[in-house]
Amino acid sequence: MFSKLLIANRGEIACRVIRTARRLGIRTVAVYSEADRDALHVELADEAYPIGPAPARDSYLKGVAILDVAERSGAEAIHPGYGFLSENAQFAQACARAGVVFVGPPPHAIRAMGSKGDAKAMMAEAGVPLIPGYHGFDQHPEVLRQAARTIGFPILIKPFAGGGGKGMRVVEAPEAFPDQLAAARREAMSAFGDDRVLLEKYLARPRHVEVQVFADRHGACVALFERDCSIQRRHQKVVEEAPAPGLDAATRRRMGEVAVAAARKIDYRGAGTVEFLLDPSGAFYFIEMNTRLQVEHAVTEMVTGQDLVEWQLRVAAGEPLPLGQDDLALHGHAIEVRLYAEDPANDFLPQAGRLGHLGFPATDCHVRVDTGVRSGDTVSIHYDPMIAKLIVWDHDRAAAVRRLRAALAETRVVGLATNRDFLAAIANHPGYLAGDLDTRFIERHHGDLRPQQGLAADRVLVLASLAVLLDRAARARAEAALSADPWSPWARGDGWRLNDEAHDLLTFRDGAVERQIRLTYRRGSYLLNLLDGAPGGEVVARGELLEDGSLEADLGGVRLTAVVIRAGAELTVFHQGGSHRLVLQEPLAAATQDLPGGRLTAPMPGRIIAILVEPGTKVDKGQPLLVMEAMKMEHTLKAPAPGTVVSFHHGVGDQVEDGVELVEFAVDGEAPLLGAIGESH
Ligand code: ADP
């Protein structure tokens, strides 16, 4: 076995490989781009080396730079993860030349499967069933048109060199064929530099079922059963599970045998995946082989109890496969979902930015979380926006689905839009629970899975208000403890007023709508009245808010729990599996009403877009001083009391972090205070 391994990747897969290597006593070497200087994989590895600027082509795809690190660090082997250089035969060859072991198949096997068209020709020779289609070298449009007619419509046009669902086109009728062909070729050329295409019969309701294979250099080759990856969006996998629901033992065995035959045909070594489409009739057809570890390998690990990265390393080091076919067995059911920073409400647009808060379910034998990011990390525009893989296991599928629902409910991301609620909608869909899967599941149930964009439930609004009030009270107590007169009524956060009724108003922005709550302070509780809620919608609320945002609430005697994560004025309420974002309006002005001695700090990270008064200006309470832009909204900082603006600490255009002091302010008759406002963190 190797003593030092270089991981030529980033994110969750790099972290995952590092963990296995460490368990095996192998020292680990990470590489990182400029964007990943503080990334988790860099922190976890024993050594880490910079390899270039953020764009992948200047760093993670630069084989020369990576081999240079291998030499400098003395790593004997390179694990490429998936993506990047994992299916690059040239890189595998360069490793061999440099005397470094490439943890993957030999270059000839990568090449053999690198082109879908060539791979199909070879698979046909091995007796592997193919979808009726055409993958010939004669690419004359007339030949292709004839072939399409023979196959029968609908037809799928695929690039020879395709991958990642790119460039595939469904053609419903012969008339559309010439135009679609021309477009598919242009797309293939620009994406892969190869305009050859193949044609396949477009199957109406196939399932995507793939078989994990493993081969060593001593002639052994086994199948580690199948994964069902039918839940796809635009031909890309979203949910994966093992075993495939409802697959009978005979088909499972037959698929495994065919997959092993495919691997043997190309003299395969290491981990590979043979992908099939399974027709409702029970017939299955080869579509492609991926010559690397797959994102979804974790579900196979959960149902076989094997560590596939360990298998990869052992095979690469020349050891025999740890187990033979007859030693392998399936245990229970595992499901994986891919949590992405993307906005389902905006056509799943990838999101980039800071993960203000990241919370995952506790892990144990039922729940596994593979991630490469932590709270506060940035999802970069340069790489895949996957935040984590959540993997659950239980004795049967129904129990695993329940685990999945619970795991998603305990997953909390603040700062970026994610597909969490979309994944939860799939996990909660009766069709999913019934195992009624095929590759058009998402398309067919689109209406049920669409993000709910309604207003927050009244209860969510009440929980948010309670969290704000408890937070204020805690801050006031903390300030009082520091002040000269801790018992001063000014330090109380319970709305105590000398000559005033203890009423107040909280205003939240809920999407495009403003929602108000009138509150009356009571001893130890609050009377909350949703002004736009149900008539007479008053509730006595009390509770406890912990540092981590956990809220234990008592709403009129009903005990509830929620998590309320706050970043400046933005609150995300996680309650009963859902999440809702609310923005507390005018946080600065509102806060100062209760908190004399407030200071003027940035309520959230943002940019200063206007300074409204000159230093030295005497201002009235509530007079606007400065405008910030944050979360695509403008926020005005107002004078907390009558007084004088002494100075501004930042200028227009400056980017500021939350909590940064912005204004030095002298309240009339008092010493200057550096200002904020109790609302900010
Ligand atoms: P890529 O390599 O680009 O991911 P694949 O050939 O692996 O492309 O196919 C990806 C997905 O596209 C499959 O999982 C399936 O959902 C769909 N697909 C591919 N071929 C067909 C076909 N002939 N009929 C119906 N769907 C198909």
What is the Å distance from ligand 1's center to 429 Cα? 24
Q: Give strand ranges (E) for 135-205.
A: 155-159, 169-171, 197-201
Q: 621-633: string of b/e by CB count within 10 Å (b at 16+)?
A: eebebbbbebbee
- Gap between the Cα atoms of 416 and 428, Å rounded: 23
pLDDT tens track for 303-314: 999 999 999 999
Q: Are residues 234 and 383 in the same domain?
A: yes
Q: Are residues 213 and 334 in the same domain?
A: yes
Q: What residue's CA is closest to ligand 1, atom 11?
A: 235
- For residue 209 and ligand 1, the question of a CB distance below 6 A is answered with no
Q: Are residues 369 and 493 in the same domain?
A: no
What is the Å distance from ligand 1's center to 118 Cα? 16
Residues in the chain, overall count: 681
pLDDT bracket for residue 478 (50, 70, 90): confident
Q: Are residues 270 and 397 in the same domain?
A: yes
Active site residue 292: yes
Q: Which residue has the higher pLDDT, 70 or 161?
A: 70
Q: What residue's CA is closest to ligand 1, atom 12?
A: 235
pLDDT attached to residue 484: 62
- For residue 157 and ligand 1, the question of a CB distance below 6 A is answered with no
Q: Calculate what percentage of the chain has a pLDDT beyond 70.
A: 91
pLDDT attached to residue 363: 97
What is the Å distance from ligand 1's center to 287 Cα? 7
Q: Are residues 674 and 611 in the same domain?
A: yes
- For residue 208 and ligand 1, the question of a CB distance below 6 A is answered with yes
**In the predicted structure, residue 96 carries a pLDDT above the cut 70:** yes
Q: Are residues 370 and 244 in the same domain?
A: yes
- For residue 163 and ligand 1, the question of a CB distance below 6 A is answered with yes
- For residue 131 and ligand 1, the question of a CB distance below 6 A is answered with yes
CATH number for the domain harbouring residue 516: 3.30.700.30
pLDDT bracket for residue 681 (50, 70, 90): very low
**In the predicted structure, residue 678 carries a pLDDT above the cut 50:** no
Cβ proximity of 506 and 584 under 8 Å: yes
Domain that holds residue 676: 606-680
**In the predicted structure, residue 453 carries a pLDDT above the cut 80:** no
- For residue 339 and ligand 1, the question of a CB distance below 6 A is answered with no
**In the predicted structure, residue 278 carries a pLDDT above the cut 70:** yes
CATH number for the domain harbouring residue 168: 3.30.1490.20
CATH number for the domain harbouring residue 662: 2.40.50.100
- DSSP for 422-460, please give it: HHHHHHT-HHHHTT---TTHHHHTHHHHSPP--PPPHHH
Weakest-pLDDT range from 18-22, 356-360, 377-381, 485-489: 485-489
Q: What residue's CA is closest to ligand 1, atom 2?
A: 163
pLDDT tens track for 517-564: 998 888 889 999 987 765 557 899 999 999 889 999 999 999 999 999
**In the predicted structure, residue 120 carries a pLDDT above the cut 50:** yes
Q: What is the pTM of this model?
A: 0.83
Q: Are residues 380 and 258 in the same domain?
A: yes
Cis peptide before 154 (omega within 30 of 0): yes
pLDDT bracket for residue 674 (50, 70, 90): very low
- For residue 680 and ligand 1, the question of a CB distance below 6 A is answered with no
CATH number for the domain harbouring residue 212: 3.30.470.20
Q: Which of 553, 584, 615 is the last residue of a domain?
A: 584
Q: Which residue has the higher pLDDT, 493 or 347?
A: 347
Q: Are residues 438 and 420 in the same domain?
A: yes
pLDDT attached to residue 590: 40
Q: Is residue 246 part of a domain?
A: yes
For a pocket test of ligand 1, which of 151, 211, 235, 284 has the largest count of ligand atoms closer than 8 A to its C-beta?
235
Highest mean pLDDT (candidates 20-29, 193-202, 536-545, 614-623): 20-29
Q: Are residues 188 and 216 in the same domain?
A: no
Q: Is residue 113 part of a domain?
A: no
pLDDT attached to residue 406: 96
- For residue 277 and ligand 1, the question of a CB distance below 6 A is answered with yes
Q: Which of 157, 181, 201 is the last residue of a domain?
A: 201
- Gap between the Cα atoms of 470 and 611, Å rounded: 32
Q: Is residue 123 part of a domain?
A: no
Q: Is residue 116 part of a domain?
A: no
pLDDT attached to residue 488: 63
For a pocket test of ligand 1, which of 279, 286, 287 has the largest count of ligand atoms closer than 8 A to its C-beta?
287
Weakest-pLDDT range from 55-64, 297-306, 670-679: 670-679
Q: Are residues 390 and 434 in the same domain?
A: yes
The residue-averaged pLDDT of 236-245 equals 97
- DSSP for 68-122, please give it: HHHHHHT-SEEE--SSTTTT-HHHHHHHHHHT-EESS--HHHHHHHHSHHHHHHH
**In the predicted structure, residue 455 carries a pLDDT above the cut 80:** no
Q: Across the strands, what pairs with 230?
A: none
Q: Is residue 504 part of a domain?
A: yes
What is the Å distance from ligand 1's center to 394 Cα? 29
CATH number for the domain harbouring residue 15: 3.40.50.20
Q: Are residues 441 and 492 in the same domain?
A: no
**In the predicted structure, residue 591 carries a pLDDT above the cut 70:** no
- For residue 115 and ligand 1, the question of a CB distance below 6 A is answered with no
Q: Is residue 166 part of a domain?
A: yes
Q: Are residues 87 and 159 in the same domain?
A: no
Q: What residue's CA is closest to ligand 1, atom 14?
A: 208
- For residue 165 and ligand 1, the question of a CB distance below 6 A is answered with yes
Average pLDDT, the chain: 90
pLDDT bracket for residue 607 (50, 70, 90): confident
- For residue 287 and ligand 1, the question of a CB distance below 6 A is answered with yes
**In the predicted structure, residue 586 carries a pLDDT above the cut 90:** no
pLDDT tens track for 393-445: 999 999 999 999 999 999 999 989 999 999 999 999 999 999 999 999 999 99
pLDDT attached to residue 523: 82
Contacts 24+ apart (CB under 8 A), 447-455: 449/422, 449/425, 450/344, 450/425, 451/344, 451/345, 451/421, 451/422, 452/421, 453/345, 453/511, 455/510, 455/511, 455/513, 455/515
- For residue 311 and ligand 1, the question of a CB distance below 6 A is answered with no
Q: Is residue 115 part of a domain?
A: no
pLDDT attached to residue 504: 81
- For residue 439 and ligand 1, the question of a CB distance below 6 A is answered with yes
For a pocket test of ligand 1, which of 187, 439, 442, 444 has the largest count of ligand atoms closer than 8 A to its C-beta?
439
- DSSP for 260-312, please give it: HHHHHHTT--EEEEEEEEE-TTS-EEEEEEE-S--TTHHHHHHHH---HHHHH
Q: Is residue 414 part of a domain?
A: yes
What is the Å distance from ligand 1's center to 235 Cα? 6
Q: Which residue has the higher pLDDT, 647 or 674?
A: 647
What is the Å distance from ligand 1's center to 304 Cα? 26
Catalytic residue (one of 292, 420, 459, 599): 292
Q: Which of 536, 552, 584 is the last residue of a domain?
A: 584
Q: Which atom of ligand 1 lies nearest, measured to the CA of 165?
A: 3
Weakest-pLDDT range from 409-418, 491-500, 510-519: 491-500
What is the Å distance from ligand 1's center to 444 Cα? 17
pLDDT attached to residue 677: 32
- For the chain, what is the domain count? 5
**In the predicted structure, residue 475 carries a pLDDT above the cut 60:** yes
- Gap between the Cα atoms of 651 and 586, Å rounded: 21
Q: What residue's CA is closest to ligand 1, atom 21?
A: 202
**In the predicted structure, residue 200 carries a pLDDT above the cut 70:** yes
pLDDT tens track for 634-655: 677 888 788 888 888 899 888 8
